[in-house]
């Protein structure tokens, strides 16, 4: 205990003000913060270098049959109406299929084309309104054996010239000796880049046994599932009957892949994915591309097919990863994919509420900031001995609670996703009530803290709460963020596991706010230690493939932590500090990329793949994809949150009434926290193609906390007399100028004194 007390006494802040120059005994220790930054970079690199193993089934197949049905969803399956589909789902490995393509709406032609390209492709870039057009590609059969698609060569050129993904339709067919296609959709997937389909029949023959042994890869179009009610059930039954004929004719040692290859309208959904055959008996489907058990992408099917056949994937053409199976799912589809386990229902409801939630949050925060502006103006220091009366205490307390609630809104929305609100009859109302209740409970907990009256206490508590919510979620598999209102949607296909853009912004802002508040509690030489320890924890949580699985985000966090640590002791971001921060950030970035490059291509992360493309001169499409993704992200309501927060911070710092500069003068570690957060969110938006999404989430929690702290500092900024008949002014209770005998004597000597009572 004695040693601990001595350590605390050594690190705690003494009576020396931050503006005082360092003592001579400490001037020689200026290298300590930079050493700690370098050590943090090394520790972060070690944490990022460890990756989970990515295995694939060891058994191979002699034949692969792909049976696809555009629009087929898990809620279409029934043990009585679709016995063949139900049997395959029970015996094989299953998952939710994201059918993302290069088009904003994946129509049947886009889905079949993406399947054959193993990459995000588009048949026609024209805008789709309502229902998708009927799949009717031009087909020629000059020899009666195969078929030609005369349009495909133009489609290949359009994907190469106008799309940023580098997709080559027909890459899957080019990787095998010959293919068989049954139906028009199958012809699109099985055609070679110049439009030739090796074997083609428009419909299943009476006895298709000999058909499936002609080539190692066969693709069957089971039809398009559209509509609702009885008409939809009839189409599903017809597809199931066709699948039953395929199953009866499949050769020995064949792998059966069943997929709902696309949507049928502009409303995106998750679809059926089943793999049944050697090495695929039971379990969840997954891949390194999703990192989530039970989730698969359409682009993952092509490399999975080639791996099952024992053939290599074409270099740099496929964007997907080979699927694998993970045991542990219930045997019956009822207990794994339907009813309360219907991920498609949850994801669809989430997509409909997310934009409304963030737009509403931006409107609420803007209204609160407009309410705060007059209070800041009232708290401005006046030149005269008297000033306007301080606002009523209850008004100030109410505004503080509103700011705390606004900062807790996104963590509360994450916690709300722990409850199955999406099953309610009116899920939007259920979510709103649940999120408001969680926000109210969190605000009350912060208000009841014993040290709530201290200036930085609410800021530290709210920041710690945000870190705890996102951190615990990552430690438990990011279940709250997956298909959550404040998370990410598997339907959109951008992320399936780890930390999303919103979670990254909230986590980083909370961690650096906590680091800034904690650093203010200790002496200046120890402040970089606090920032480095908290920041190193954040880097590992974000970048570890077992947790956040976001290496580009980890690089951005590293840069922000380096900047925050460099200026946490006070002063400006000088050239030496920038140099040290840059060196540390580059050390993590280059080190992780080099380690990533040593892995096989299909196991590399995003940083390693980008660096490999940069080295061989093919990084242009990757940069174009990031720019395109950022352009699409600008439409997000999170952009409004980022702009509202930036305007409020600018007003607080640069207007005559703002007190943010005074906050930074009294608490320089908070300026470091804000600078580090800004650097992080800007880099994360650029590197991750998220535009202002990360910045908006970070602003939603950080800006209300800085505004609250500014109000508290302004409330005690000026000593002034009490206006007659009023309460104490903005100088705060108990602070006033009074003329006493000492001041009277000072008046006689030409000076005026003040005492604090």
Residue 25: pLDDT band by 50, 70, 90 thresholds? very low
The 3 state secondary structure assigned to 718-748 is: CCCECCCCCCCCCCCCCCCCCCCHHHHHHHH
Q: What angle do CA 681, 690, 694 make, to 5 degrees?
A: 35
Q: How far is it, in rounded angstroms, from Cα 324 to Cα 304?
A: 8
The separation between the first and the last C-alpha atoms of the chain, rounded to the nearest angstrom, is 38
Q: What number is the average pLDDT over the span 690-694?
A: 80
Cβ contact 701:693 at 8 Å: no
Residue 429: its pLDDT value, please? Answer: 93
CB neighbours of residue 155 within 10 Å: 25
Closest CA to 242 of 198, 186, 280, 292: 186
> Does residue 698 have a pLDDT over 90?
yes
Q: What number is the average pLDDT over the span 325-350?
A: 85
pLDDT in tens, 628-640: 555 455 567 888 8
Cβ contact 556:684 at 8 Å: yes
Residue with tokens 């709406």: 105
Residue 351: pLDDT band by 50, 70, 90 thresholds? confident
Q: Helix, strand, coil % (nearest 5) of the chain?
A: 55, 10, 40
Q: Per residue in 315-335, is it b (16+ CB within 10 Å) or e — as a string?
A: ebbbbbbbbbbeeebeeebbe
Cβ contact 97:493 at 8 Å: no
Q: What angle do CA 638, 640, 643 make, to 5 degrees?
A: 115
Which 3 state secondary structure label does DSSP give 223? strand
Which 3 state secondary structure label does DSSP give 249? helix
Q: How far is it, in rounded angstroms, from Cα 160 to Cα 338?
A: 39
Residue 533: its pLDDT value, please? Answer: 83
Q: Where are the domains of the chain?
A: 63-330, 345-380+390-716
> Does residue 545 have a pLDDT over 70?
yes
Residue 198: pLDDT band by 50, 70, 90 thresholds? very high
Residue 24: its pLDDT value, please? Answer: 44
Burial class (CB in 10 A: 0-12, 13-18, 19+), 208: buried
What percent of the chain stands above pLDDT 70? Answer: 76
> Does residue 125 have a pLDDT over 70?
yes
- Assess if CATH 3.40.720 describes domain 63-330: yes
CA–CA distances in Å: residue 683 to residues 45, 456, 554, 634: 18, 28, 10, 15
Residue 383: its pLDDT value, please? Answer: 46
> Does residue 708 have a pLDDT over 70?
yes
pLDDT in tens, 408-432: 999 999 999 999 998 888 988 999 9
Q: Which of 167-171, 293-297, 562-566, 632-636 has the lowest mean pLDDT?
A: 632-636
Q: What number is the average pLDDT over the span 185-209?
A: 91
> Does residue 666 have a pLDDT over 90?
no
The per-residue pLDDT of the chain, averaged, comes to 80
Closest CA to 202 of 224, 173, 232, 180: 180
pLDDT in tens, 432-488: 999 999 999 999 999 998 888 888 889 999 999 999 999 999 999 889 999 989 988
* Highest mean pLDDT out of 125-129, 208-212, 401-405, 672-676: 401-405
CB neighbours of residue 356 within 10 Å: 14
Q: Judging by DSSP bridges, how do beta strands 295-297 and 93-98 pair with one another?
A: parallel
Cβ contact 119:318 at 8 Å: yes
Q: How far is it, in rounded angstroms, from Cα 253 to Cα 251?
A: 6
Which 3 state secondary structure label does DSSP give 393? helix
Model pTM score: 0.82
Q: Which residues contact 577 (CB under 8 A, 6 or more apart)?
A: 563, 566, 567
Q: How far is it, in rounded angstroms, from Cα 184 to Cα 223?
A: 9
> Does residue 559 have a pLDDT over 80?
yes
Q: How far is it, in rounded angstroms, from Cα 522 to Cα 519?
A: 6
Q: What number is the average pLDDT over the span 288-309?
A: 91
Residue 443: its pLDDT value, please? Answer: 95
Q: How far is it, in rounded angstroms, from Cα 514 to Cα 411?
A: 15
> Does residue 387 have a pLDDT over 70?
no
pLDDT in tens, 58-98: 578 889 999 999 999 999 999 999 999 999 999 999 999 99
> Does residue 648 have a pLDDT over 80?
yes
Q: Which residues, in sequence order, are bridge partners of residue 68?
A: 221, 259
Q: What number is the average pLDDT over the span 361-378?
A: 89
Q: How far is it, in rounded angstroms, from Cα 248 to Cα 208?
A: 9
Residue 612: its pLDDT value, please? Answer: 53
Q: How far is it, in rounded angstroms, from Cα 732 to Cα 722?
A: 10
Residue 7: pLDDT band by 50, 70, 90 thresholds? very low
């Amino acid at each position: 205990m004695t040693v601990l007390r001595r350590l605390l006494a050594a690190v705690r802040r003494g009576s020396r003000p931050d503006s005082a120059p360092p003592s001579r005994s400490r001037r020689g220790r200026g290298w300590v913060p930079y050493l700690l930054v370098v050590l943090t970079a090394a520790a972060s690199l070690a944490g990022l270098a460890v990756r989970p193993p990515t295995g694939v089934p060891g058994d191979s197949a002699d034949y692969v049959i792909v049976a696809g049905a555009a629009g087929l969803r898990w809620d279409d399956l029934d043990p009585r109406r679709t016995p063949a589909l139900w049997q395959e789902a029970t015996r094989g490995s299953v998952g939710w299929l994201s059918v993302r393509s290069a088009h904003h709406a994946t129509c049947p032609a886009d889905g079949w084309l993406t399947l054959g390209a193993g990459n995000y492709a588009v048949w026609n870039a024209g805008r789709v309104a309502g229902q998708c057009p009927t799949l009717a590609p031009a087909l020629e059969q000059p020899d009666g054996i195969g078929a030609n698609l005369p349009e495909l060569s133009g489609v290949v050129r359009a994907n190469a010239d106008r799309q940023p993904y580098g997709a080559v339709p027909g890459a899957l067919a080019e990787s095998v000796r010959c293919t068989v296609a049954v139906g028009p959709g199958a012809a699109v997937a099985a055609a070679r880049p110049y439009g030739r389909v090796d074997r083609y029949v428009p419909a299943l023959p009476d006895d298709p046994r000999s058909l499936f042994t002609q080539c190692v890869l066969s693709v069957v179009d089971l039809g398009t599932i559209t509509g609702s009610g009885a008409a939809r059930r009839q189409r599903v039954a017809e597809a199931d009957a066709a699948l039953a004929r395929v199953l009866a004719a499949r050769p020995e040692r064949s792998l059966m892949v069943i997929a709902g290859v696309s949507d049928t309208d502009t409303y995106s959904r998750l679809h059926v994915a089943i793999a049944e055959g050697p090495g695929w008996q039971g379990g969840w489907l997954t891949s390194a591309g999703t990192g989530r058990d039970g989730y698969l992408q359409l682009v993952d099917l092509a490399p999975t097919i080639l791996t099952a056949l024992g053939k290599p994937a074409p270099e740099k053409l496929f964007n997907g990863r080979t699927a694998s199976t993970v045991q542990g799912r219930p045997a019956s589809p009822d207990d794994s994919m339907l009813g309360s386990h219907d991920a498609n229902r949850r994801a669809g409801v989430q997509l409909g509420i997310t934009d409304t939630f963030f737009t509403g949050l931006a409107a609420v925060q803007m209204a609160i900031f407009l309410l705060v502006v007059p209070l800041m103006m009232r708290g401005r220091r006046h030149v005269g001995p008297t000033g306007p009366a301080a606002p009523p205490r209850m008004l100030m307390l109410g505004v503080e609670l509103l700011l705390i609630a606004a900062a807790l809104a996104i963590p509360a929305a994450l916690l709300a996703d722990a409850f199955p609100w999406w099953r309610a009859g009116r899920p939007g109302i259920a979510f709103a009530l649940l999120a408001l209740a969680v926000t109210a409970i969190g605000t009350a907990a912060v208000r009841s803290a014993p040290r709530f009256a201290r200036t930085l206490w609410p800021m530290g508590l709210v920041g710690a709460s945000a870190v705890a919510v996102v951190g615990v979620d990552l430690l438990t598999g990011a279940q709250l963020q997956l298909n959550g209102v404040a998370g990410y949607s598997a339907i959109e296909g951008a992320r399936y596991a780890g930390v999303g853009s919103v979670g990254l912004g909230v986590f980083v802002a909370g961690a650096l706010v906590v680091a800034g508040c904690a650093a203010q509690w200790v002496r200046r030489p120890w402040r970089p230690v606090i920032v480095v320890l908290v920041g190193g924890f954040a880097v590992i949580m974000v970048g570890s493939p077992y947790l956040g699985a976001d290496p580009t985000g980890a690089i951005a966090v590293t840069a922000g932590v380096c900047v925050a640590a460099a200026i946490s002791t006070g002063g400006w971001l000088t050239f030496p500090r920038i140099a040290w921060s840059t060196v540390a950030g580059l050390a993590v970035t280059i080190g992780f990329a080099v380690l990533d490059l040593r892995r096989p291509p299909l196991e590399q992360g995003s940083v390693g793949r980008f660096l490999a493309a940069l080295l061989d001169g093919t990084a242009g499409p990757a940069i174009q994809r990031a720019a395109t993704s950022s352009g699409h992200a600008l439409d997000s309501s999170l952009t409004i949150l980022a702009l509202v927060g930036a305007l409020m911070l600018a007003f607080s710092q640069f207007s005559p009434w703002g007190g943010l500069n005074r906050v930074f003068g009294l608490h320089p570690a908070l300026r470091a926290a804000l600078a580090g957060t800004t650097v992080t969110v800007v880099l994360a938006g650029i590197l991750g193609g998220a535009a202002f999404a990360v910045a908006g989430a970070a602003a939603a929690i950080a800006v209300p906390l800085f505004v609250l702290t500014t109000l508290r500092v302004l409330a005690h900024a000026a000593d002034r007399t009490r206006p007659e008949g009023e309460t104490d002014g903005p100088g705060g209770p108990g602070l006033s100028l009074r003329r006493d005998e000492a001041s009277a004597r000072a008046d006689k000597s030409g000076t005026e004194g003040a005492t604090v009572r």
